[in-house]
Amino acid sequence: MTTGNTTRIARTAARAALAVPGVAELQPSLRQALAGAATRVREAIGSPALSTEAGIHVEHTPGTRAWHVEVRCVLTDDRRALDTARDVRDSVRSAVGSQVTRDGVPEPVIVVVTVTRITGHRPSLQPWDHRPVTPTGTPVSPV
């Protein structure tokens, strides 16, 4: 597969993942974060920049003829992380599967979703209990 196909698949996967309710952003891997830093240096000296989708890693394995897509995402806390991750997996698999079919022979798409962080306020297990707690989890009595 060409680099152009891989980039197109990564963009399709990124759009599909970001469209899922509960996804705050895509989290770049360390490799992508370092590539992003290098891109800023390249731009400063006038070299062409690398084009990668943050939080998406795409590989095509010719032996199995399958696309492997890794999605690293940050979620909001307004939905269960498991439900959001499943929706991301299904949405990306569907979008990439459609893209691969349009590009030629349909090939299997394997999607792995990694939740790197959940943003926002985490509600108390007992919503009526808003007292501070100690590191062991026991409530602190008001003074």
- C-alpha span between 103 and 100 (Å, rounded): 5
Digit-coded pLDDT (tens) for 104-129: 878 899 999 999 999 875 444 444 44
Cα dihedral: 79, 67, 7, 74 (round 10): 20
- Any long-range contacts for 59-64 (C-beta under 8 Å, 24+ apart)? 59/6, 60/1, 60/5, 60/6, 60/107, 62/1, 64/108
Model pLDDT for residues 44-68, shown as the tens digit of each residue: 666 544 444 678 999 988 788 899 9
31, 129 Cβ separation under 8 angstroms: no
pTM for this predicted structure: 0.68
CA distance linking residue 50 with residue 39, whole number of Å: 6
